[in-house]
Amino acid sequence: MASNNDNIKIHKHLKVVPPSSSTQTTATTIPLTFFDIFWLRFHPVERLFFYTLPISLSHPSFFFQKLVPILNSSLSLTLQHFLPLAGKIIWPSDSSKPFIQFNPNDDDHGVSLLIAESDSDFNHLIQNSPKEASLSRSFIPVLESTDVFSSIISIQITLFPRNGFSIGISTHHAVLDGKSSTMFIKAWAYLCNKIIETEELSPILSPEFEPLLDRESIKDRDGLGDTFINNWTKMFPNEKGSERSLKILILPFEPKLEDYVRATFELKREDLNKIKESVLSKWEIFDTNESKPKSISSFVLTCAYSAVCVAKAIHKIHDEKEKFVFGLAVDCRARLEPPMASNYFGNCVRMHLVDTEPLDFIDENGVFLVAKCIHESIKMIIENDVLEGVKDGFGKLNTLKNEGYEIIGMAGSNKFEVYESDFGWGRPEKVEIVSIDRGLTIGLAESKDGRGGIEVGIVLDKHVMDVLSTLFLEGLSFD
């Protein structure tokens, strides 16, 4: 079965289910917390893992007959620990809120798995330098959603003969955040490894990858779930029936592809040290009321440096665009009362818009100004109520958009260790957050070499990207 893309051929479309011996016979329902509902119709988070293989392992007949069955069976085994992923989000008429349902008696339960082959240039795809933004989309599966249900994850395995393969995963943001989705990938990789090493058909999952699925522990003190439900339903005042739709919104999340390019920049440890020294040297000059901190995190420095470079590149090409704001993703697990375990599987992130001045990002001292604001925002969140202001998030976002702000978001984290996802044939050669093409978003990951650097992915108009490439490198050339 050929796809619409000339460079890719779909060999199989499978439904992968947990082993029948591991599932109960009755349906299980899991509530959505207010963290989940905030993202209810948001676009899926899409990641792409590229792996190189020896020529012998990447020959089509060997890959499809030997390697794919191992990936398939280990995926099934992993799902027995992550049962919600094999279910759906539904919203029955007698329920005030949508929820997750896993029903082993539903013939359509399970995870969609596409097995594909591509003749695209593998070495070109794994390069950091700018390439057409649309290229990566061929290796990412569609996450099925309708008015009445939505799937939770979808996976595509694509072979590049004589080179390697990719694993593309689409995840529903109303069920799991970045930390949870990378936990699932690592659990799958762990079990796949164990099957290869021991030839056991049902290896035991390491405790570090066992998810905590209990959503009842997250208490909604301020009716945030109802607020976020109302926010979604108010978006469709003139469309009867749409207020309860679960269909993922196409607009404003359509991927930016035509004339857009995708690139990865790396801030090495020595680069981050240079930026840190520059920021700290200006702290007391610009702020006499507050002593400078002893240190400042690599995360803050990366976000500030990258966001300022992006803003300046956009402003240089489109001079009417001069007001920017940065949206910070905050992991709330350890900061809730009571705190959640680090292996909590679900959404536990909130968005926080950093209180910068509109023109800070294009200021000569933009990196310092933005880094200081991000640092102080995180400090405030740690010291105070982590959920303060979250109720007004929708409204604040819409107000800024209406006032002409360009909102720079972030996805991923340098703490997720995505390059540790080894399925038994080596660590990833490249990891991309493909869904950053759905907005003005910076994608973060730890550097592949493990030396403390950070990779920054971005998708921009090619003219803006040309400027960004120059700004990014020039900004690191100071002594």
Lay out the sheet containing 88-90: strands in order across. 28-31, 99-102, 88-90, 149-151
Lay out the sheet containing 260-267: strands in order across. 131-132, 260-267, 454-461, 441-446, 406-412, 324-331, 349-353
> What residues have CB less than 8 Å from 76, skipping those under 6 apart?
16, 17, 18, 19
DSSP character at residue 214:
-
Q: How many other C-beta atoms lie within 10 A of the C-beta of residue 474?
A: 10
Residue 85 structure tokens? 């992923």
Alpha-carbon distance of 351 to 398, in angstroms, equals 14
Residue 57 structure tokens? 């392992």
Active site members: 173, 422
Q: With CA atoms as reference, report the closest residue to 113 among 143, 80, 83, 149.
A: 143
> What residues have CB less than 8 Å from 175, skipping those under 6 apart?
32, 36, 84, 85, 89, 100, 152, 346, 347
Instruction: Give backbone dihedrals phi and psi of 290, rounded to 5 degrees, phi first.
Output: -140, 130
Q: CA–CA distance from 432 to each of 14, 137, 153, 164 (Å)?
A: 24, 11, 17, 16
Pairing of strands 441-446, 406-412: parallel
Longest Cα separation, the chain = 68
From its phi and psi, is residue 417 left (phi > 0), alpha (psi between -120 and 50) or beta?
left
The radius of gyration of the chain from alpha carbons, rounded to an integer in Å, stands at 22
Alpha-carbon distance of 170 to 249, in angstroms, equals 15
Q: With CA atoms as reference, report the closest residue to 344 among 110, 98, 203, 178.
A: 178
DSSP character at residue 409:
E
